[in-house]
Amino acid sequence: MDYIEVHFQVEPQSTGTEILIAMLSQIGYESFMENDDGLTGYIQSAQYHLSDLNELQQTISPGVKFTFTSILVKSQNWNEVWESNFNPVVIGGKVYVRAPFHEPDKSIEFEIIIEPKMSFGTAHHETTMMMIELMLEENLSGKAVLDMGCGTGILAILAEMLGAKGILAIDNDEWAYTNALENVRKNKCKHISVFKGTVDLLNHEKFDIVLANINRNVLLNDMKNYTGHLAEGGALILSGFYIDDIEAINQSVISCGLTPDKKNTKNDWAAVRFIKSPTRE
């Protein structure tokens, strides 16, 4: 399968890049890598239309501007492209994230193998790093975990390595769903169920830990669902939003009866942890 690789130079970079990713996703772009001056996006060659990008330049949010260049990535070179862009990552001195073509490192406690295909969650982004750092502070032994917007499945995989037993991973993207299934198999996980869909798939399940590394608007829209499926005494760990969004996120979660507990920030990004206090008799 041939792809078009499109490099976007974005102004302003931080907020503009997030807006552009959201809009590109709606017209068929399947994967993104942020870089120093914007981002690189990938789309199947059959779905690439120059007119779409020209129109997007005119309709994107006020104050956001971008230019772009594109090249064809032949199918036989796809793995080579990813190998050249994906390096191993060590987080907190305890988690080593690598692709199958990287050398193992047995000196690090938890090794996660991620096939770097077309989904978010290779631990290079600040939000994934912070989610992992907060998870390392949790006692997940025997816990039920929900990973919403699971991407590659990296957080669900780490949850099992940390001792969780009943793990549900959900993503609404076909590429992410397929990639998560593959990564679950590669890491020989036995307690993870992966589904394609949204929070609407949930029935009456309760989870001890709810993980959601998704963008601000989705988090705010689905917050009552996340908190409603969180068991008393459980932890809600969120990221995928900017430091400037913390107040809005806090207000939404607090209105659902949870208490802010921890906060991490890296560059412009944030991650927060909330506790659902047990109901007093």
Note the pLDDT of residue 85. 65
Nearest 5 degrees, angle CA 10-CA 180-CA 89?
Answer: 60
Mean pLDDT of the chain: 89
Q: What is the pLDDT of residue 281?
A: 44
Question: Domain range spanning residue 259?
Answer: 125-275
User: Which residues touch 160 (CB under 8 Å, ≥6 apart)?
Assistant: 167, 187, 189, 190, 191, 192
Pair 151, 271 in one domain: yes
d(CA 207, CA 235): 9
pLDDT 10s digits, 128-144? 999 999 999 999 999 99
| Domain boundary residue, one of 31, 57, 82 | 82
Do 145 and 264 fall within a single domain?
yes
Number of independent structural domains in the chain: 2
Same domain, 66 and 200: no
| Judgement on whether residues 28 and 161 belong to the same structural domain of the protein | no
User: Could you identify the residue written with the tokens 């041939």?
Assistant: 2
Over residues 239-253, mean pLDDT: 92
CB contact set of 168 (below 8 Å; sequence gap of 6+): 145, 146, 147, 192, 193, 195, 205, 207
Looking at the fold, whether 243 and 152 belong to one and the same domain comes out as yes
- Do 70 and 131 lie in one domain? The reply is no
Tell me the two tokens of residue 122: 């290779």
Report if residue 245 sits inside a domain. yes
Rg from Cα positions in the chain:
19
Looking at 82, 116, 133, the residue that finishes a domain is: 82
CATH code at position 70 = 3.30.70
- Report residue 257 as tokens: 């009866």
Residue 120 located in a structural domain = no
Is residue 110 one of the residues assigned to a domain?
no
Type of residue found at 71 = I
Residues 144 and 270 in one domain: yes
- Same domain? 174 vs 69: no
Reported pTM: 0.75
Domain boundary (28, 47, 82) is at: 82
Kindly state whether residues 66 and 178 are assigned to the same domain.
no
Give the mean model confidence (pLDDT) for residues 193-203.
93
Peptide bond between residue 104 and the one before it cis (omega within 30 degrees of 0): no
Backbone angles phi, psi at 188, to 5 degrees: 55, 40
* Residue 57 located in a structural domain: yes
What confidence tens digit (pLDDT) does each residue in 53-102 have?
999 999 998 889 999 999 988 765 555 565 566 788 999 999 999 988 88
- In this structure, is the dihedral angle defined by the CA atoms of residues 262, 129, 159 and 103, taken in order, positive or negative? negative
Is 189 among the domain residues?
A: yes
Q: Can you read off the two tokens belonging to residue 5?
A: 């690789």
Within this chain, do residues 168 and 46 fall inside the same structural domain, yes or no?
no
Q: Answer whether residue 238 is part of any domain.
A: yes
For 18-55, how does the pLDDT look when each residue is reduced to its tens digit (9 = 90+)? Answer: 889 888 988 888 778 887 888 998 888 888 999 999 99
Domain match, 72 and 207 both: no
In a domain, 130, yes or no: yes
Q: Would residue 25 count as lying in a domain?
A: yes
Same domain membership, residue 133 and residue 38: no
* pLDDT tens figures, 91-140: 999 999 998 888 999 899 999 999 876 556 677 788 899 999 999 999 99
